Amino acid sequence: MLSYALLVHAAPYSEQGALSALRFAQAAVAQGHRVSSVFFYRDGVHNASTLMAPPQDEVHLAEGWRALAQEHGTELLVCIAASLRRGLMNAEEGVRHGREAHNLEPPFVLTGLGQLVDAMQANDRVITFAP
């Protein structure tokens, strides 16, 4: 049994990387490994959007990530600096920035790059999913 952390740079739907990351995570937990955290960085932060609404005959990435968190305790960590630039924020940041809406909710958590550094130390493997 290995513990994995994933680093996702790929935007949802635009690129294969995000889907591959989710499929890897699902396969890993199905085989008894642990995916302790997924860190979303660069365009990967869009995976966390509450407003994601793909057609019904496509994989729903955000729902897939949420299910992973709920069923396997995987932490979904989203880089706050990369998110704010790209227009993703939770309720707390929405208030701080004077916005009337927000589009990021638990189990996705806004956090800093320090959490990525922690994840590298705490896991057997870190796997990057680029575009």
Partner 1 sequence: MQDDEAALAADTPIAPLDLLVILRHPPHGSSWLREGVDVALVAAAFGQSVGLLFQGDGVFALVEGQRAGPLGQKGTHAQLAMLEMYDIERLWVSASALRARGLTPADLMLPVQLLEADALERLVHAQPHTLLF
Interface residues toward partner 1, by CB under 8 A:
7, 41-42, 81-82, 112-114, 116-118, 120-121, 126, 128, 130
Please state the closest distance from residue 42 (CB atom) to partner 1, in A: 6
Single out the catalytic residue among 5, 21, 45, 79. Answer: 79
Of 34 and 42, the one with the shorter C-beta distance to partner 1 is: 42
Nearest by Cα to 109 from 75, 86, 81: 75
Nearest by Cα to 3 from 48, 30, 34, 28: 34
Of 12 and 64, the one with the shorter C-beta distance to partner 1 is: 12
Please state the closest distance from residue 112 (CB atom) to partner 1, in A: 7
CA distances from 103 to 39, 45, 111, 124 (A): 17, 11, 15, 32
Of 5 and 61, the one with the shorter C-beta distance to partner 1 is: 5
State how far the Cα of 63 lies from the Cα of 26, in Å rounded to an integer.
13
Nearest by Cα to 125 from 26, 45, 25: 25
CA 45 to centroid of chain Cα atoms:
7
Residue 7 annotated as catalytic: no
Please state the closest distance from residue 75 (CB atom) to partner 1, in A: 18
By annotation, the residues acting in catalysis are 79
